[in-house]
Structure 1
Amino acid sequence: MTAPTRFTVTESSDSLWRVTFRNPPINLIDPRMMIELKALLSRIEANDKLAVVVFDSSDPDYFLAHYDLDPNPDDLAAVPEGPTGFHPWLDILVRLSKVPAVTISSIRGRARGAGSEFALATDIRFASDAAVLAQMEVGFAAIPGGGPASRLPGLVGRGRSFEILLGGMDYDGRLAERYGYVNRCLPDAELDAFVDSFARRVSNFDLQALADIKHHINKATLPDDKDFPPQMDAFWRAVSRPALQSISTQLFERGLQQAGDVEKNLAAWVGRIAPSAPAQDADS
């Protein structure tokens, strides 16, 4: 695997790895990150000694901001489908949820949109009280494409799934814990030590026992893979509609995908940006 540019991999031991996202300015999930995540997943899938993988971020403000809404078309075309045959992002999420190793998201800062989808695809989510999670796609006139409509109900229940997906609001770490969006919320200063201690403890247990536990929990809790592609298809249909294009254009004009107020308060911004009215003919 060529050294990744969007994250670092620290092999603390044969059984414990830490993947730290580092893609300035706001840890966007761009085509290069997807290519590198696919290569990382192949390494994880092929490793018969690895027990635990922790995902965190070097940026205290952003775990993973969201999917890149303005990718280079050539870069996007270069992302391979992967073994599932699904859209490249779905391929990453489905494979991530099924790797034999235990996967842990250590969330500090913002995890919105696809960033939230990534966290939901990991086995365990620990959050700082400075974390922010959201599925804000409804504010862009879209459905989330990465499957939270299938993953969230089993975690937070039907009503709260509607609240999260229809409201498009931010959930801080404490509220996310109450809802079941994350396993637990810790004071920011305690997050790293707690996650490290938990990950090291689990990584020392028998690999077969860990794999068996994960297999049977997955069997009881993971959505059927066939549920995901229709959601991604609906997302891409939304991308082509004037409403999403209008909202995105207005937000890019105000600083979307740059470090600043729009990204820090994106849920609030999408709540007050409306699609521009279509132009009227002069004779109308």
Structure 2
Amino acid sequence: MKYPSLISFILAIAASALAACQATSTGFIRVTKVTPSYWRATLSSPPFNLLNSNFYLDFYALVDQLENDQEVKVVVFDSDVPDFWISRIDIANPAPAELSSEVWWGNVTRLSNLPLITVASIRGITRGAGVELASALDVRFGSREKAVFNQIEVGFGLTPSSGMALLPMLLGRSRALEVAIGADDVDADTAAVYGWINRAIPDDSFESFVDTFARRVAGWDHDVIAVTKKLINKNAGFPTMEQWREGYEAGQVSLTKPVLQSRLPAVIKAGLGSNITFEKNLSQETLKFTGDGPFQA
């Protein structure tokens, strides 16, 4: 399928889903219009910002809102949940397929092609599907002291899904293998060296840096931003629906494998999704649940 036809196909999928959910707001994403051209999309679902059905509904509604606004030029995705940006997908209570399959990547692709700049403002932990969302945004900044990145799935016995289409584009083959199969936490300085984020910024100046960047972008001519982004997208590339689907389908198959089915109840009992300390130290906690089991939780 050629690229223009693919984009049309993706947009059609996204539009059909949005017709059902565009008026829905669950409160997971709180939108603040700092100015008409500068918006903040704050992730606010304590205690972990688990990516769940509420997130999908709010995210799709936000993409629809951004597409239909003629003034917005930059939107910053931040979090008001201490220690977390998006911790991971809610694996214990997964969203239905109609929210999390093709519709998800269709909307991510739609956002990547809008004539505005999206900024991931990360001052906490982001793993799995959360770090995949951050990777799909246009620009990523991380707090040197607080931001943590992890493609965590392999540590659970899962195959990463949409991240496998985008991660090698950003990091290159060897570093993508290290990150995905190592399934360990990566600090902001290393993430910046690897190209996972644009740069690591000292936390005491982080908010002012992001705000200054956003206000700077918001002051430029809208058409110039749009054309410049379109040219960069054309030359940099973005995962196609076929590339995304291959990873997604592999991830879905791994959900049914005995390795996950045997580990998940023990990991939940140990504190997954309920214990702050467990979630903060998840990359080390997963080491307790390797092998054939039974696991001591």
Q: Same fold (TM over 0.5)?
A: yes
Aligned to 2:252: 236
Distance 2:113 2:275 in 1: 33
CA RMSD of aligned residues (A): 1.8
Which residue among 134, 144, 149 is the counterpart of 1:133?
149
DSSP-derived class of the 1:155 partner: helix
Amino acid at match of 2:259: A
- Contact 1:25 1:259 survives alignment (8 Å): no
User: Is there any run of 5+ residues in structure 1 with no aligned partner, and where?
Assistant: 279-284
Indicate if the aligned counterparts of 1:246 and 1:275 stay in contact, CA closer than 8 A.
no
Residue in structure 1 matching 2:65, options 43, 58, 69: 43
How far residue 80 of structure 1 moved from its aligned partner, in angstroms, is 4.4
In 1, Cα distance between equivalents of 2:244 and 2:89: 17
Superposed displacement of residue 90, structure 1:
2.4
Counterpart residue type for residue 101 of structure 1: L
Tell whether the 8 Å contact from 2:56 to 2:99 is kept in structure 1 after alignment.
no
Distance between the aligned counterparts of 1:31 and 1:276, measured in 2?
32
Question: Alignment length, in residue pairs?
Answer: 270
- What is the TM-score normalised by the length of structure 2? 0.86
Query: Quick check: 217-226 or 55-64, which moved more?
Result: 217-226
Give the C-alpha shift of residue 91 in structure 1: 3.0
* Aligned positions of 1:64-143 closer than 5 A: 64-71=86-93, 76=96, 79-80=98-99, 86-129=101-144, 130-143=146-159
Partner residue, 1:188:
203
> Residue 251 of structure 1 contacts residue 262 of structure 1 at CA under 8 Å; is this kept in 2?
no
Distance change (3 Å), C-alpha of 1:267 and 1:80: closer
> Could you tell me how far 1:155 is from its partner in structure 2?
1.8
Cα offset, 1:93, TM superposition: 2.6
Match of 1:281 in 2: none
Aligned to 2:266: 250
- Secondary structure of 1:271's counterpart equals helix
Alpha-carbon displacement from aligned partner over 1:31-87 (angstroms, at most 9, x marks no partner): 111111111111111112110010000023000011111227xx636x547xxxx53
Which residue number in structure 1 is paired with residue 8 of structure 2?
none
- Residue 10 of structure 1 corresponds to 32
Residue aligning to 2:4: none
C-alpha deviations, 1:14-43, integer Å up to 9, x for none? 111001111011110111111111111111
1:244–1:275 Cα contact (<8 Å) kept: no
Distance 1:4 1:235, change over 3 A: same
Which residue of 221, 229, 248 maps to 1:206?
A: 221
Tell me the equivalent position of 2:278.
262
Superposed CA deviations along residues 111-130 of structure 1, whole A, max 9, x for unmatched, are 10011001001000000011
Listed one character per residue, the Cα deviations across residues 237-276 of structure 1 (whole Å, up to 9, x for unaligned) are: 1111111122222210100012422210111122331254
Q: For residues 248 and 164 of structure 2, what CA distance do their matches in structure 1 show?
A: 11
Work out the CA distance in 2 between the residues paired with 1:3 and 1:138: 32
TM-score by length of 1: 0.90
SS, match of residue 119 in structure 2: strand
Given that 1:26 and 1:259 are in contact with CA atoms closer than 8 Å, whether structure 2 keeps it comes out as no
Aligned equivalents of 1:219, 1:270: Cα separation in 2: 39
What corresponds to 1:169 in structure 2?
A: 184
In the alignment, the residues of structure 1 paired with residue 265 and residue 50 of structure 2 have an alpha-carbon distance, to the nearest angstrom, of 18
Percent identity (aligned): 36
